[in-house]
């Protein structure tokens, strides 16, 4: 039976330390860290995530501004807002919640965010920095995953780490972070030939695909650290991860639940990144 990694509890710890650090920072500088969260359209999941981000800002003592734009917002309108926020002295972090409606080119929007305010770490400047090892910001979900792994007490150096999924938000950046910690990293995706053969070798397995319960016990090595990034809404309204939790928990060494694993860490790390952004104020 594995240890269940409590993401809610660790995220709460992190928010508490950000709150304390923010208090000291405000007293010393008079600067209140400010986060702008932009949501285009009415995707229900995005609304939940954005709501949680605003709530976390209030908890740690940040200014937060929410920009809720209609689904038919044009690319030009959104670019204009980003430009305004880039020049807004009260805003240190800008987060444009993804996915965006199809009339808007996501790449263009991300590239328009000032790299010093890019608390998502998605701007090409920061992606480049991640590749070479010195980004201004590490993307929130991968940063949260690294913290969860660190808290198990295992060392990554020399371990086999397997990432299932190659998105720009999770798969690619987490692979780079694991590599930076000297893990031997394999990235799997939909064209991978024998997925179970690869995942079964993993000391650390990251599931970031978006397919409910696709990682089954036969695909997992005994004692592995299993991190489940999937947030899949089932027909019955419940959430399920990419990992078949019960059977994998019986075999893994450590496992994250969904909900209550990676999700809350994403938001806690956004708070950390926003405080870092405020400290960079030039």
In the complex, the residues that contact ligand L34 under the rule CB under 6 A are 48-49, 52, 95-98, 120, 140-141, 231, 239, 258-260, 263-264, 266-267
Is the CB of 225 or the CB of 268 nearer to ligand L34?
268
Q: DSSP letter string over 69-97?
A: E-TT--HHHHHHHHHHHHT-TT--EEEE-
Catalytic residue list contains 6: no
Distances (CA, A) of 140 to 2, 53, 75, 219, 249: 26, 12, 25, 27, 25
Q: Give the shortest CB-148-to-ligand L34 separation in angstroms.
A: 12
Q: Give the shortest CB-139-to-ligand L34 separation in angstroms.
A: 7
Catalytic residue list contains 181: no
Candidate list 55, 72, 88, 97, residue with the active-site label: 97
Is the CB of 51 or the CB of 223 nearer to ligand L34?
51
Is the CB of 175 or the CB of 231 nearer to ligand L34?
231
Contact (CB, 8 A) for 231 and 243: no
Candidate list 9, 43, 47, 53, residue with the active-site label: 53
Q: Give the shortest CB-8-to-ligand L34 separation in angstroms.
A: 7
Taking the C-alpha atoms of residue 145 and residue 170, their distance in angstroms, rounded to an integer, is: 10
Q: Give the shortest CB-267-to-ligand L34 separation in angstroms.
A: 5
**Residues in contact with 214: Cβ distance below 8 Å, sequence separation at least 6, in sequence order:** 207, 242, 243, 244
Catalytic residue list contains 107: no
Is the CB of 253 or the CB of 263 nearer to ligand L34?
263
Taking the C-alpha atoms of residue 136 and residue 152, their distance in angstroms, rounded to an integer, is: 26
Q: Give the shortest CB-44-to-ligand L34 separation in angstroms.
A: 9
Closest residue to ligand L34 in the complex (CB): 263
Is the CB of 99 or the CB of 196 nearer to ligand L34?
99
Q: Give the shortest CB-7-to-ligand L34 separation in angstroms.
A: 7
Is the CB of 140 or the CB of 225 nearer to ligand L34?
140
Candidate list 118, 120, 203, 242, residue with the active-site label: 120
Catalytic annotation, residues: 53, 97, 120
């Amino acid at each position: 039976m594995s240890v269940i990694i409590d993401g809610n509890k660790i995220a709460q710890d992190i928010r508490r330390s950000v709150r304390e650090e923010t208090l000291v920072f405000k007293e010393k500088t008079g600067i209140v860290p400010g986060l702008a969260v932009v949501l285009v359209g009415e995707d229900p999941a995005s609304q939940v995530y954005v709501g949680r981000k605003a709530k976390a800002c209030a908890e740690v003592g940040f200014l937060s501004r929410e920009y809720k734009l209609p689904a038919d917002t044009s690319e030009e309108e959104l670019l204009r807002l980003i430009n305004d926020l880039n020049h807004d002295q009260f805003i240190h972090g800008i987060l444009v919640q993804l996915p965006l409606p199809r009339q808007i080119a996501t790449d263009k929007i991300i590239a328009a965010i000032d790299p010093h305010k890019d608390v998502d770490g998605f701007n090409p400047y920061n992606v480049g920095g991640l590749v070479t090892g010195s980004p201004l910001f590490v993307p929130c979900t991968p940063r949260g995953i690294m913290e969860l792994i660190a808290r198990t007490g295992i060392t990554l150096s020399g371990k086999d780490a397997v990432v299932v999924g190659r998105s720009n938000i999770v798969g690619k950046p987490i692979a780079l972070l694991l590599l930076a910690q000297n893990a031997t990293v394999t990235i799997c995706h939909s064209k991978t030939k024998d997925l179970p053969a690869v995942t079964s070798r993993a000391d650390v397995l990251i599931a970031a695909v978006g397919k409910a319960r696709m990682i089954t016990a036969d695909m997992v090595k005994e004692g592995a650290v299993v991190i489940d990034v999937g947030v899949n809404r089932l027909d019955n309204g419940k959430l399920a991860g990419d990992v078949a939790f019960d059977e994998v928990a019986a075999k893994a060494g450590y496992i994250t639940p969904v909900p209550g694993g990676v999700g809350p860490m994403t938001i806690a790390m956004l708070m950390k990144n926003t405080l870092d952004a405020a400290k960079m104020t030039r």
